[in-house]
Amino acid sequence: MWQYIVKRVIGLIPLILVVSFVIFMFIHLIPGDPARLIAGKEATIEEVQEIRVSLGLDKPIIEQYFVYLKDLLTGDLGYSIQSGAPVSELIGERIMPTLGLTFISIIWALVVGILIGVVSAVFRNKWPDHLGMVVAVSGISLPNFWVGLVLIQLFSVQLGWLPTGGADDWKSYLMPSFALGAGIMAMIARFMRSSLMETMKQDYIRTGRAKGLGGNAIVFGHALKNSLIPVVTIAGLQFGFLLGGSVVVETVFSFPGLGRLLIDSIQFRDYPVVQAEILLFSLQFILVNLLVDIVYSFLNPKIRYQ
Amino acid sequence: MSDVQTEIMPEGAVSMKEGKLSNFWKDFRKKKPALISFYFIILLFIITLIGPYIVPYDPAAPDYNKVLESPSLQHLFGTDSFGRDILSRLAVGARISLTVSISAVLLGALVGTFLGLISGFFGKWVDRAIMRVCDVLFAFPDLILAIGIVAILGPGLKNVVIAVAFFSIPSFARIVRSATLETKEMLFVEATRSIGASNKRMIWKHIFPETVPTIIVYFTMKVGTAILAAASLSFLGLGAEPSSPDWGAMLSNSRDYIDSSFHLVFFPGLIIFLTVLAFNLLGDGLRDVLDPKTKD
């Protein structure tokens, strides 16, 4: 097991290096001189040159990349153009609300998605199945920003039960996490249904039936665990969907998280913050997929020996 | 698909094609949700074409006597903060949303299909190189990649098309690659190789047509994703001009009026939802008929 984990982690190093290089190139890909972009429109030639030297932009690109990598490893993400504060500090303030939001979203999406999937598979082609799949295909097609706005209208404007935004207490997490998790819940429900139906066709299930086990014992005692394996993988892959969605949902609810910071930074052309945020989002995505692979290999030992 | 290849087809090529098409239609017609979605999408396309000529009101002309009116017989979906008719704006905006998302997926599909075909056909280092590039693209969550690209290129619909196309490339490449690998092993491809067909001919004349059903199914589903992504970018202020009747931009503008005029939020969102739903259901139906082995 440990051998497999170490192997997978080492295998990720080249990918992370390439991703960090692509993101490092980000500021060089924006048309125009990066030093001038950072200095602003009113800056004099001397000021621009000063910034160029202080950021090392006068050095060869490869050298700049290694400096960038070294800074990254020491936690130095540069300084915000807008506020002058260290980027790591800005991100530090925002990371917990976003992590909380994504965590709550994925948990409810998994629980409800698996539940709907199991009910649909057990009542295959009967009305609970049809209802479950209507919910699932609608969930995939719903724009999360619209879900957010409809929730605000219903629970904040009409009923006055929940706050329209912020992240002050548990109440302010309810609507954003519902809007964010709905799409993933729907995908999990669909995969859970087909995975469980696939598992129910296996020989060992027939054996279980033959020795007289009832329907519930078969589903919950044998089939469920095995049919969860592909669902875990899908949940991991869809995590990227959640990260992208968090940007939109945080904007709807004025939620003080990383996604909101990203959009604000793009509007202010605060490129160091944008760069650091995109790196952070990708690293999270890569790490979650690593975690999923490890869980997967734990559930399905065959993978480890390939 | 392989069974179609091995069937004996005594008639000419044209009638074979006709036979395939009528078979397809016979199977597809049974998929009711997909069929309804298909008609809905056709209707949307018609609106895209003739919408600007049939809408009851000028979608851009303000009418300050009719600001923020609720839905009524004169204005079925109500009016916005400039007194413009929302139904007319949605009808004209269909052109923007569909053009942006379909051209983005088309661009992504063209590049992705080409990469997938050569990756699967040539294998070895070509395959490894292309797949590593895809791995890097996959390391970025879709919408984050699109936001990053728009941050570099600047806001605007043209850049939204590029951004959405970009994140569609790796998934098309992977899907077409695996379809190519499968087709490459089939007997009829072996046979054409043995009679000395060139690589180019084998790829385009024999392998590519076999991957088309997979591409059509995936394309349809991706259009739904692209509509959502483009609307999200417009909603975030990174896509269409705020004043344009783009569906995402209309929703973004209406946020300020949520407590007084909910119809401003409700109808643009509903039309986005129904359109994406139609593409997803059509994709599901097409998959069941054209490409049943890839089901979930």
pTM above 0.90, yes or no: no
A241 against A113, higher pLDDT: A113
For residues A64 and A167, state if they share a domain. no
pLDDT of residue A226: 78
**Distance, in angstroms, between B211 CA and closest chain A CA?**
24
A-B Cβ pairs (cutoff 8 Å, strict): 129
B101 against A34, higher pLDDT: B101
Task: Decide if A218 is inside a domain.
Answer: yes
Query: B68 in contact with A at a CB cutoff of 8 Å?
Result: no
Residue A282 neighbours by CB under 8 Å, 6+ apart:
A19, A23, B139, B140, B141, B144
| C-beta separation of B266 from A157 below 8 A | no
Q: Which residue bears the tokens 């916005």?
A: B80
pLDDT of residue B38: 93
B100-135 burial: b if 16+ Cβ within 10 Å, else e = bbbbbbbbbbebbbbbbbbbbbeeeeebeebbebbe
For residues A24 and A150, state if they share a domain. no
Residue B229 neighbours by CB under 8 Å, 6+ apart:
B101, B142, B143, B146, B164, B167
Q: Which two tokens stand for residue A114?
A: 């698996």
| C-beta separation of A246 from A257 below 8 A | yes
Cα–Cα dist A126/A116, whole Å: 13
For residues A61 and A122, state if they share a domain. no
pLDDT surpassing 60 at residue A123: yes
Instruction: Label residue B13 by pLDDT band (50, 70, 90).
Output: very low
CB contact under 8 A, B272 and A30: no
Quick: pLDDT tens for A68-101: 888 888 888 888 877 888 888 889 888 899 989 9
Task: Decide if A67 is inside a domain.
Answer: yes
Cα–Cα dist B33/B278, whole Å: 8
- For chain A, the average pLDDT equals 83
CB contact under 8 A, B276 and A143: yes
* DSSP annotation of B242: T
For residue B42, which amino acid is it? Answer: I
pLDDT of residue B2: 42
pLDDT of residue A231: 84
Query: B277 in contact with A at a CB cutoff of 8 Å?
Result: yes
Minimum Cα–Cα distance from A274: chain B residue: B148
* Contact residues on chain B for A140, CB-CB shorter than 8 A: 224, 280
| C-beta separation of B234 from B224 below 8 A | no
Query: B151 in contact with A at a CB cutoff of 8 Å?
Result: yes
Query: A44 in contact with B at a CB cutoff of 8 Å?
Result: no
Instruction: Label residue B294 by pLDDT band (50, 70, 90).
Output: low
* Contact residues on chain B for A146, CB-CB shorter than 8 A: 251, 265, 268-270, 272-273
Task: Decide if A50 is inside a domain.
Answer: yes
Task: Decide if A59 is inside a domain.
Answer: yes
Q: Which residues pair with B85 in a beta bridge?
A: B79
Q: Which two tokens stand for residue B184?
A: 């490459």
Quick: pLDDT tens for A16-49: 888 888 888 877 777 767 777 777 777 788 888 8
| Domain limits for position A68 | 15-73
Query: A287 in contact with B at a CB cutoff of 8 Å?
Result: no
pLDDT surpassing 80 at residue B32: yes
pLDDT surpassing 80 at residue B292: no
For residues A27 and A123, state if they share a domain. no
For residues A126 and A196, state if they share a domain. yes
For residues A132 and A26, state if they share a domain. no
Average pLDDT over residues A188-194: 88
Q: Which two tokens stand for residue B118?
A: 């050569």
For residues A235 and A100, state if they share a domain. yes
**Distance, in angstroms, between B201 CA and closest chain A CA?**
35
Cα–Cα dist B284/B220, whole Å: 9
The CA angle B134-B140-B145, to the nearest 5 degrees, is 105
pLDDT surpassing 70 at residue B18: no
Task: Decide if A176 is inside a domain.
Answer: yes
Instruction: Label residue A270 by pLDDT band (50, 70, 90).
Output: confident
Task: Decide if A2 is inside a domain.
Answer: no
Minimum Cα–Cα distance from A155: chain B residue: B259
Task: Decide if A132 is inside a domain.
Answer: yes
Chain CA centroid to CA B132, Å: 25
pLDDT surpassing 50 at residue B6: no
pLDDT surpassing 90 at residue B104: yes
Query: B26 in contact with A at a CB cutoff of 8 Å?
Result: no
pLDDT surpassing 50 at residue B1: no
Q: What is the CATH number of the domain that holds A233?
A: 1.10.3720.10
Average pLDDT over residues B266-293: 88
ipTM for the complex? 0.85
Question: Which value, to the nearest 10 degrees, does the dihedral of the CA atoms of residues A76, A78, A83, A84 take?
Answer: 90
pLDDT of residue A173: 84
CB contact under 8 A, A141 and B224: yes
pLDDT surpassing 70 at residue A236: yes
pLDDT of residue A304: 64
For residues A127 and A262, state if they share a domain. yes
Instruction: Label residue A116 by pLDDT band (50, 70, 90).
Output: very high
Q: Pick from A73, A103, A118: which residue ends a domain?
A: A73
For residues A220 and A152, state if they share a domain. yes
Instruction: Label residue B242 by pLDDT band (50, 70, 90).
Output: confident
Q: Helix, strand, or coil here: A82?
A: coil
- Greatest mean pLDDT among A224-233, B77-86, B133-142, B193-202 lies in B133-142
* Contact residues on chain A for B259, CB-CB shorter than 8 A: 153, 157
For residues A201 and A248, state if they share a domain. yes
Cα–Cα dist A100/A166, whole Å: 13
Please give the tally of structural domains in chain A: 2
Average pLDDT over residues A212-227: 73
pLDDT of residue B290: 82
pLDDT surpassing 50 at residue B7: no
pLDDT of residue A176: 92
| C-beta separation of B232 from B143 below 8 A | yes
Among A residues 133-162, those touching chain B with beta carbons less than 8 Å apart: 137-138, 140-146, 149-150, 152-153, 157
pLDDT surpassing 60 at residue B9: no
CB contact under 8 A, A145 and B235: yes
Q: How many CA atoms lie within 13 A of A271 on its CB side?
A: 24
User: Which residue segments constitute the domains of chain B, with CATH numbers given?
Assistant: 38-56+75-294 (1.10.3720.10)
pLDDT of residue B296: 45
Task: Decide if A134 is inside a domain.
Answer: yes
Quick: pLDDT tens for B132-185: 888 888 888 889 889 988 888 888 889 999 999 998 999 999 999 988 888 888
Q: Helix, strand, or coil here: A79?
A: strand
pLDDT of residue B8: 45
For residues A155 and A66, state if they share a domain. no
- Greatest mean pLDDT among A79-88, A142-151, A159-168, A267-276 lies in A142-151
* Contact residues on chain B for A141, CB-CB shorter than 8 A: 224, 228, 273, 276-277, 280
For residues A56 and A189, state if they share a domain. no
pLDDT of residue B276: 95
